[in-house]
């Protein structure tokens, strides 16, 4: 389903439609609501890492008192409240919080929490774990922390070509990866004679949007994909749109819109990642129709 803006640019006669299935996933909504509740109560709140991989939303919350910190600053805090974002954290973070009497506002996404438990159980069974994900990504850091970093993280199956792989592996994936790519990876590993115990741990909201966006992208002359440059999910979904509609453009904010992309009478679709706020997509629509 889509929300048709039914608004027209007076000069270029552009019609602009926002995909109503785009925008924050429930995990991000939950984290932001928890943050805003504390901000309304005490005026400030520490958050370990960006609460969401979207600079525009992070800046909005910073103005309300959100203080983004890294692990070094976290280690020095005492007697404070700190938000754990939807990406989750390794056990070491919880241990440090106890040592420093830090109250954790834990907004770990339930989907990520379930994956943390599953990967930990596999490790307890002495399985050889491979995780398809982005090295250094917050979710991946939290997942690998569950197993003392005793696993292999890779983004592309080509990274494993020079590795002497065991006869049997247990394969997991970061929750925001492409379902299609995950199964392609499984088949590629199996073609090498490896027994792959595959766990498709991709969030259903992400995989559903993959399907929905394919239809959405084909329905317009041009697509503006709005997302944060740090968002793994954004990169996946942008590529989905680009495959279906070559006239797809990635922007992070309204200032990046280039009106030379458009022609008179174009039908433009606006969509975004699970980390893209609806208010930002609405700003992009307004900029298009008032340019």
* Edge-to-edge order in the sheet of strand 103-106: 66-69, 45-48, 81-84, 103-106
- Positions in the chain short of pLDDT 70: 1-10, 291
The parent domain of residue 90 ranges over 26-109
115 and 190 in a single domain? The answer is: yes
Sign of CA dihedral 194, 197, 199, 200: positive
239 and 274 in a single domain? The answer is: yes
pLDDT of residue 211: 87
pLDDT of residue 4: 41
The residue from 202, 231, 260 where one domain ends is: 202
Sign of CA dihedral 239, 241, 245, 246: negative
195 and 122 in a single domain? The answer is: yes
**Exactly one of 139, 161, 167, 282 is catalytic; which is it?**
139
C-alpha distance from residue 112 to each of 84, 138, 203, 233 (Å): 12, 11, 8, 14
190 and 247 in a single domain? The answer is: no
Tokens of 246: 């070559």
Identify the CATH number of the domain in which residue 138 sits.
Answer: 3.40.1010.20
134 and 174 in a single domain? The answer is: yes
134 and 172 in a single domain? The answer is: yes
- Count up the domains in the chain and report the number: 3
Identify the CATH number of the domain in which residue 68 sits.
Answer: 3.40.50.11270
194 and 214 in a single domain? The answer is: no
229 and 286 in a single domain? The answer is: yes
Which residues, in sequence order, are CB contacts of 126 under 8 Å at separation 6+?
A: none
62 and 31 in a single domain? The answer is: yes
The residue from 175, 202, 229 where one domain ends is: 202
pLDDT of residue 160: 93
The residue from 83, 109, 135 where one domain ends is: 109
51 and 11 in a single domain? The answer is: no
190 and 269 in a single domain? The answer is: no
**Pick from 57, 100, 104: which is nearest to 85 by CA?**
104
Catalytic residue flag (residue 139): yes
Which residues, in sequence order, are CB contacts of 136 under 8 Å at separation 6+?
A: none
Element housing 122 (H / E)? helix 110-124
98 and 150 in a single domain? The answer is: no
């Amino acid at each position: 389903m889509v929300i048709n803006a039914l608004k027209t640019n007076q000069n270029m006669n552009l019609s602009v439609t926002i995909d109503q299935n785009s925008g924050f996933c429930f995990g991000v909504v939950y984290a932001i609501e928890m943050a805003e509740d504390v901000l309304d109560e005490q005026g400030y709140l520490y958050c370990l890492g960006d609460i969401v991989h979207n600079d525009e939303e992070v800046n909005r919350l910073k103005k309300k008192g959100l203080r983004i910190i890294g692990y070094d600053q976290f280690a020095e805090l005492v007697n404070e409240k700190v938000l754990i974002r939807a990406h989750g954290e390794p056990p070491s973070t919880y241990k440090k919080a106890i040592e420093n009497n830090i109250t954790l506002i834990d907004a770990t996404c339930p989907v990520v929490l379930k994956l943390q438990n599953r990967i930990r159980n596999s490790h307890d069974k002495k399985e050889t774990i491979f995780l398809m994900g982005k090295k250094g990504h917050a979710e991946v850091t939290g997942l690998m922390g569950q197993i003392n970093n005793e696993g292999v993280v890779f983004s592309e199956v080509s990274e494993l070509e020079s590795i002497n792989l065991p006869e049997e592996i247990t394969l997991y994936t970061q929750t925001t990866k492409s379902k299609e790519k995950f199964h392609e990876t499984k088949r590629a590993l199996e073609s090498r004679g490896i027994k792959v115990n595959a766990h498709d741990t991709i969030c259903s909201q992400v995989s559903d949007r993959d399907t929905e966006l394919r239809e959405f992208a084909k329905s317009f002359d041009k697509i503006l994909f709005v997302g944060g440059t740090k968002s793994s999910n954004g990169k996946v979904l942008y590529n989905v749109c680009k495959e279906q509609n070559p006239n797809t453009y990635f922007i992070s904010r309204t200032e990046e819109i280039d009106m030379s992309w458009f022609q008179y009478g174009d039908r433009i679709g606006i969509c975004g990642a699970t980390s893209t706020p609806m208010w930002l997509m609405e700003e992009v629509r307004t900029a298009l129709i008032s340019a």
